[in-house]
Amino acid sequence: MLRKMILKHGSVLEHNRLVFLAEGSEEEILELLLTDRFFEVSRLGEGKWLVSCNLRTLVSALADDLPGEVREAFSEALRTASPVLWERVMAHGG
């Protein structure tokens, strides 16, 4: 079926989900949410969050000015999920 489909556009990046356990303040989480409206966030406790998104959101967020630790975690997740895509994103300056 996939062979029959034309997947040249980026929608193929949306058929997955990456889930992160994050620590940070409300301000830091708000800053992250403002980079892309497709992040999902759940508060787990004081300063602890469950954050999830798909690859398209992750790639889009990497193009923004993220704090160092967040960028590192997202970059590592992308490198694991899709090394080819990660190389291309990094080649364009992350």
Partner 1 sequence: MEVKLISYVPSKPIIEALEAGGLSISPEELLKHLSFTFAISGLSRACTHQLVRHRLASYSQQSQRYVRVERLADEAVEPPSIACRPEADVFFRGFIRASEYIYNKLIGLGVPEEDARFVLPNAAPSNIIVTMTGSALYHFFGLRCCNRAQHEIRELADRMLVLCRRVEPELFRKAGPYCFQKGYCEEGPLSCGRVEEVKAKYERLGYGPDV
Between 5 and 84, CB nearer to partner 1? 5
Tokens linked to 1: 């079926």
Least separation, in Å, of the C-beta of 65 and partner 1?
25
Rule CB under 8 A: say whether 37 interacts with partner 1.
no
Rule CB under 8 A: say whether 11 interacts with partner 1.
yes
Rule CB under 8 A: say whether 48 interacts with partner 1.
yes
Exposed / middle / buried, residue 55 (Cβ in 10 Å: 0-12, 13-18, 19+): buried
CA distances from 77 to 26, 54, 68, 91 (A): 23, 11, 14, 17
Other CB atoms within 10 A of residue 60 CB:
16
- Residues near partner 1 (CB under 8 A): 1-2, 4-7, 11-12, 14-17, 19, 21, 40, 42, 44-45, 48, 50, 52, 54
